Amino acid sequence: MWARIRELSIEVSMHPYWNTLERGPELVEARTALKHHADALAAVSE
């Protein structure tokens, strides 16, 4: 399971979407929102 979590973490953090955001507070807010998204929370609890 940890290998899968690591793999998905890399995939998310390297996604081209992050290059579309301004560097600064907006980036932090977007990442925080993603971490707290219902689908992400459900995947962690499986």
Each residue's pLDDT, cut to its tens digit, for the chain (46 residues) gives 899 999 999 999 899 988 887 778 887 888 888 888 777 656 666 5
Q: Name the one residue in this structure whose structure tokens are 């996604």.
A: 15
Residues in CB range of 34: below 8 A, 6 or more apart: 12, 40
Q: What is the pLDDT of residue 22?
A: 77
Which pTM does this prediction carry?
0.44
Q: What is the pLDDT of residue 27?
A: 78
Q: What is the pLDDT of residue 4?
A: 92
C-alpha to C-alpha distances, 32 to 3, 14, 29, 35, 40, nearest whole angstrom: 22, 16, 5, 5, 11
Contact status, residue 18 vs residue 27, Cβ threshold 8 Å: yes
Q: What is the pLDDT of residue 45?
A: 63
